[in-house]
Amino acid sequence: MLMTTYTRKHTTYRDALELVRQLPLRDQRRLRAELAKLPSVHLVLPNQTPQAIQKGKLLAEQVRKELSAATNTQTLDETMRQLRGRSWS
């Protein structure tokens, strides 16, 4: 059985392909079968109707009001550290 370790570098497609080629053929087939179960990704343009644009503007205004009323002056890092008790990044 092949063991891999986590590294912080960005894995490229070529790196992933090389790692898969190192797997036993049975595991390669199982991985291929699991990947085949995943739904394909379809990109759809956002709704551009005047009603959708108006709704988006109203929602954006609501978010702006909520943010302006917020009293939290902490940075994102400080908030995450407080919530989780450690560095989140």
User: Are the C-beta atoms of residues 23 and 2 closer than 8 Å to each other?
Assistant: yes
In the structure, how many helices (H) and strands (E) does the chain have?
4, 0
At 45, give phi and psi (nearest 5°). Answer: -65, 145
Residue 2 lies in a domain: no
Residue 64 lies in a domain: no
Question: What pLDDT is stored for residue 8 in this prediction?
Answer: 62
At 36, give phi and psi (nearest 5°). Answer: -65, -25
Q: Give how many domains the chain has, as a whole number.
A: 1
Domain that holds residue 16: 10-36
pLDDT per position as a tens digit, 20-64:
889 899 998 898 888 888 887 676 788 899 999 999 999 999 988
Question: What pLDDT is stored for residue 67 in this prediction?
Answer: 80
Residue 18 lies in a domain: yes
Question: What pLDDT is stored for residue 41 in this prediction?
Answer: 67
